[in-house]
Structure 1
């Protein structure tokens, strides 16, 4: 019996999240969400349940409002790295959710790494 795309996505997300919980070592989680029109990312402290920093392609100062392409993802990745540095965060673990590590998600991660964030 074939699974729907949504079922496969949820299964992949739970698999990724459960593996990350085992190896997180108290670091914040860099969580990515990608929609059809935008891409956003948050640095989350799971122990306290708070968001430490966030960036999104919906922010006007990034200049990529309403775009969801590789260039927009790279700008969002650079922005989260900069905001993490301001918050005093140097390393986090990358939670891609159920999204494949390819294209926009990979561009975001690479830009965050280039910005000085260890993921």
Structure 2
């Protein structure tokens, strides 16, 4: 049991170290804002920051009411078809929504801050759907 806990702590520390190094390279300016992503075991969070003014322009997560409603509808639809609506699919919805909100705010170019997470799975799905929505990385 002790070994498992140590492994989990080391894994979290490695992610935080990667995030720290990435944050010193990725800075959101007026021309190119920062699109930051965080994922937990259940949810995924996404925000657009202007680091020069220390402001968050917009944010979306799987806890946002409009996204929650969409997820519930998609889960029902998938259940009827005999499929599953995965967390990766939820990340795609979040990516589409953040791109939509960014367009409303007049943001077209962003730099992607993956938060120390590997560019794979849910992070990649969110980034790809944000690109499809019109954001340029």
* TM surpasses 0.5: yes
For residue 64 of structure 1, the aligned residue among 65, 68, 71 is 71
Report matched runs for 1:42-57 at 5 Å. Answer: 42-57=47-62
Bigger fraction of residues in helix: 2
Computed over aligned residues only, the root mean square deviation of the Cα atoms, in angstroms, reads 1.9
- Deviation sequence 1:29-85 (CA, Å, 0-9, x none): 0000101111010000001111111111112322237x8711000000000000000
Aligned residues: 115
Shift, 1:4, TM fit = 1.0
The runs of at least 4 aligned residues of structure 1 exceeding 3 Å deviation read none
Spell out the pairing of 1:76-91 with structure 2 (5 A cutoff): 76-91=94-109
- TM-score by structure 1 length? 0.88
CA drift of 1:15 comes to 1.5
Gaps of 5+ in 2: 1-6, 73-84
User: Which residue matches 1:16?
Assistant: 22
